């Protein structure tokens, strides 16, 4: 059984994330979307809220599991019996950072493979940071995040 892990902060989950999740779920027997617990980041949503939102927006994809982790990704991969990391790439700047992460993960565990999914053209500009910035100024979030996420963002900003 091929189990892949798609790690990230998902603060909040965007339509770009969902695009990668849907596409990767077709390639692997199981896709674990793993929310990174990073106490040094000032997140809009708690880890529990991010996990809940991901569960809601992926509920129609049978082979997707939502989880969270802290520490090294390779340790988490070992825990869930996976050797495959899924990462989405938008721009060249993403590639530089993600390539560096893939190399260090490979050094720490030579059995690990990182597979990159290129973003769909319509999501090349989209990031969680941009979504939060647009929301802070009252901009339109339709087509950027699922409706439930829009609702929760504006609840947070009240």
Q: What is the pLDDT of residues 124-148, one digit of tens each?
A: 889 999 999 999 999 999 999 999 9
| This prediction's pTM | 0.95
| Per-residue model confidence as pLDDT tens digits over 108-123 | 999 999 999 999 999 9
Q: Which residues are catalytic?
A: 17, 41, 90, 128
Q: How far is CA 142 from CA 145, 147, 157, in A?
A: 6, 7, 17
**Token representation of residue 10:** 């998902």
Interior angle at CA 88, CA 86 and CA 90, nearest 5: 165
- CA nearest to 3, candidates 71, 68, 76: 76
Q: Is 133 annotated as a binding residue?
A: no
User: How is the beta sheet containing 113-118 ordered, strand by strand?
Assistant: 64-69, 30-36, 3-8, 84-89, 113-118
Helix, strand, coil tally for the chain in percent (to 5): 45, 20, 35
Percent of the residues in the chain that have a pLDDT greater than 70, as a whole number: 100
Summary mean pLDDT of the chain: 95
Angle (deg, nearest 10), helices 128-136 and 147-157:
50
Q: Is 123 annotated as a binding residue?
A: yes
Q: Is 129 annotated as a binding residue?
A: yes
Q: What are phi and psi of 92, to 5 degrees?
A: -55, -40
Beta-bridge partners for 4: 31, 84
């Amino acid at each position: 059984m091929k189990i892949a892990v798609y790690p990230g902060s998902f603060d909040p989950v965007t339509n770009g994330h969902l695009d990668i999740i849907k596409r990767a779920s077709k390639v692997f027997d199981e896709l674990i979307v793993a929310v990174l617990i990073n106490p040094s980041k000032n997140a809009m949503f708690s880890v529990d809220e991010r996990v809940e939102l991901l569960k809601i927006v992926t509920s129609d994809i049978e082979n997707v599991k939502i989880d969270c982790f802290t520490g090294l990704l390779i340790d988490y991969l070992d825990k869930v019996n996976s050797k495959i990391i899924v990462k989405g790439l938008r721009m060249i700047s993403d590639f530089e950072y993600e390539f560096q992460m893939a190399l260090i993960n490979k050094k720490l565990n030579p059995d690990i493979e990182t597979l990159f999914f290129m973003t769909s053209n319509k999501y090349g500009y989209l990031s969680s940071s941009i979504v939060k910035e647009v929301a802070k100024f009252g901009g339109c979030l339709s087509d950027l995040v699922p409706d439930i996420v829009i609702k929760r963002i504006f609840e947070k900003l009240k």
